[in-house]
Amino acid sequence: MSAPTGITWATLTKDVRLEWRSKDAINSMLFFALLVVVVFSFSFDPEAEESRQIAGGLVWVAFLFAAVVALNQTWARELRNQVLDAYRVSPAPANSLFVAKALGNFIFVSVLEALMTPLFIVFYKLRVLGPAWQLIPVAILGTWAIVVNGTFFAAMSLRTRSREIMLPLLLFPITIPALLSMVEATTTILVGDPSTSAKFWIVLLATYDVVFTTGCLALFGTVLHAE
Amino acid sequence: MNEPNTAQTNPIIAVTNLVKQFGRFAALRGVSTSFEASRLYGILGDNGAGKTTLLRILAGLVPPTRGEISILGKKNPREVCREFGYMAHPSLLYDEMSGVENLRYFARLYGLEDEARCAQVIAAVGLDPALERPVGQYSQGMRQRMSLARALLNDPKILLLDEPFSNVDIRSAREMVKLLGGMRDQGKTIFVVTHQASLLDGAADEFIWMDAGQIVNRTRDLTYMETA
């Protein structure tokens, strides 16, 4: 394993181990997402057809809000005892840290999605009418869109006084194109309208991911070593 | 008062007109000095004198507002970061992991795969490498020593230590000073920021006295403390 890959792996396993021991991010995310599912299902009490129309938006907004909890937690851990300074004085490349953090958040948010999706199906009486397999790339690309920007902006807001507020303020507007793609793609697949296809939205989401991952990687060194 | 001595024969670090502003507050006001290799320096001064800022600039954690640095012949501390060991006032350790787990992770950041090295530095600071308790359950003194072990991991040429003796009992602190003296004798250059100057009496080669962002004196002993 090359040095940067080895550092990424070491940081990723360290983060997963810390989360496994504390369960800070997962518990908070699960609780929040669960609340959204239950509250919205009681508020709307939707029929199956209605559910298919609104579920795409509901699911992704719930995951986006819940992800913010994990994203803040990832960096908060590095601020305790100023551990981040130990990384900053080391020769380890900044992008190894970024990739490890983004992958860690991807794992945590994916676990949340895996646990919450069955609940969404039950509470909203969902049945997929379109090609269900297309939900897999939408989930992967959509989750990556959230975590890659979230990891970057959480690092950027790390040294601000009100970073919990700062992260959503920065993240949500920049995520709008991705969110739109995720919601449209999910709704198209759930409704199964033969006149429309989710492929356009999936390609758009993939393009968004490539552009923003490249941008975040190019700028993360500056963010990490900024005063 | 002795004039600050800036003429060194073999400087490992030299700074010229170093200024650091935090907004309107000037933490360093034109510091110019140099430091020789294989020496133990005690950096002393009141709170807000600029000691920690100077150390953080040397470690490459904070860029200076103005002025120049030369460390091991390089102008950017990041280029020689492999040669540094940095210990801050906070522990720079993950509370949820054991000492060995922490050191194993930090060793990887330096490309060190040698498991024995972690145990070796933990033993060197007087702790038990087999201790499985998470660092969060350590006493403050144990944390300080584990933090020193982390700073020693990469066998650095230059050690930058910020308050290494705070909350450490007097016997352990003296052992740490003895350890630092031994490392200086092996060729390491060590900077210790401390408010417990007396611990370094007889061990430090020189004391750097700072006040209001400037070096106001450099002395061989602590007698200046009585007149300052």
Among B225, B92, B88, CA closest to B163: B88
pLDDT over 70, % of chain A: 98
Residues in contact with B182: Cβ distance below 8 Å, sequence separation at least 6, in sequence order = none
- pLDDT given for residue B108 in this prediction: 94
**Cβ pair B105:A3 closer than 8 A:** no
CB of A18 within 8 Å of any CB in chain B? yes
Residues in chain B closer than 8 A to A11 (CB atoms): 105
pLDDT in tens, A171-187: 999 999 999 999 999 99
Across the interface, whether the CB atoms of A3 and B111 are under 8 A apart is answered yes
Q: How far apart are CA A31 and CA A69, in angstroms?
A: 11
Question: Looking at beta carbons, which residues of chain B come within 8 Å of A80?
Answer: 94-95
Q: Is A88 on the interface with B (CB under 8 A)?
A: yes
Q: Work out the percent of chain A whose per-residue pLDDT is above 90.
A: 59
Q: Which residue of A has its CA nearest to B103?
A: A86
| pLDDT at residue B227 in the model | 67
Establish if A85 touches chain B: CB-CB under 8 angstroms.
yes
pTM across the whole model: 0.90
Predicted confidence (pLDDT) per residue in A17-42, tens digit: 999 998 888 999 999 889 888 888 78
Looking at the complex, report in whole angstroms how far the Cα of residue A23 sits from the nearest Cα belonging to chain B: 11
* The pLDDT value given to residue A53: 80
**pLDDT tens track of chain B, all 228 residues?**
444 444 456 789 999 999 999 999 999 999 999 999 999 999 999 999 999 999 999 999 999 999 999 999 999 999 999 999 999 999 999 999 999 999 999 999 999 987 889 999 999 998 888 888 999 999 888 999 999 999 999 999 999 999 999 888 898 899 999 999 999 999 999 999 999 989 998 899 999 999 999 999 999 887 777 666
Best to test chain B binding among A74, A83, A225 (most B CBs inside 10 Å): A83
Q: Which of A5, A8, A20, A81 to mutate to test the interface with B (most CBs of B within 10 A)?
A: A81
Q: Which amino acid is at B117?
A: R
Q: Stretch A181-206: mean pLDDT, rounded?
A: 90
Query: A76-133 pLDDT, tens per residue?
Result: 899 999 999 999 999 999 999 999 999 999 999 999 999 999 988 888 888 878 888 9
Structure tokens at A176: 């709008």
- Asked if the C-beta of A83 comes within 8 angstroms of chain B's C-beta atoms, the answer is yes
CA distance B207 to B43: 6
Listed by number, the residues of chain B in 146-175 with a beta carbon closer than 8 Å to a beta carbon of chain A are: 150
What is the pLDDT, as a whole number, of residue B6?
46
Q: Given an 8 Å threshold on Cβ–Cβ distance, is A90 in contact with B92?
A: no
Strand partners, B69: B15
Residue A162 confidence (pLDDT): 81
Question: What is the distance between the alpha carbons of residues B113 and A3, in angstroms, rounded to a whole number?
Answer: 11
Higher-pLDDT residue of A162 and B184 is B184
Q: How far apart are CA B224 and CA B1, in angstroms?
A: 8
Q: Is B91 in the A-facing interface, judged by CB distances under 8 Å?
A: yes
Contact B203, B177 (CB under 8 A): yes
Nearest CA in chain A to B154: A90
By three-state DSSP, how is residue A79 classified?
A: helix
Nearest to B61 among A21, A89, A91 (CB): A89
Residues of B in contact with A14 (CB under 8 A): 94, 97, 105
- Return the SS3 of B146: helix
ipTM of the complex model: 0.90
- The per-residue pLDDT for range A56-83, each reduced to its tens digit, is 888 999 999 999 988 988 898 999 999 9
SS3 content of chain A, % helix, strand, coil (to 5): 85, 0, 15
Is B109–A87 a contact, with Cβ atoms under 8 angstroms apart? yes
Q: Is B62 within 8 Å of chain A by CB? A: yes
Domains of chain B: 37-60+81-227 (3.40.50.300)
> Is the Cβ pair A90, B110 closer than 8 Å?
yes
A77 contact residues in B (CB cutoff 8 A): 94
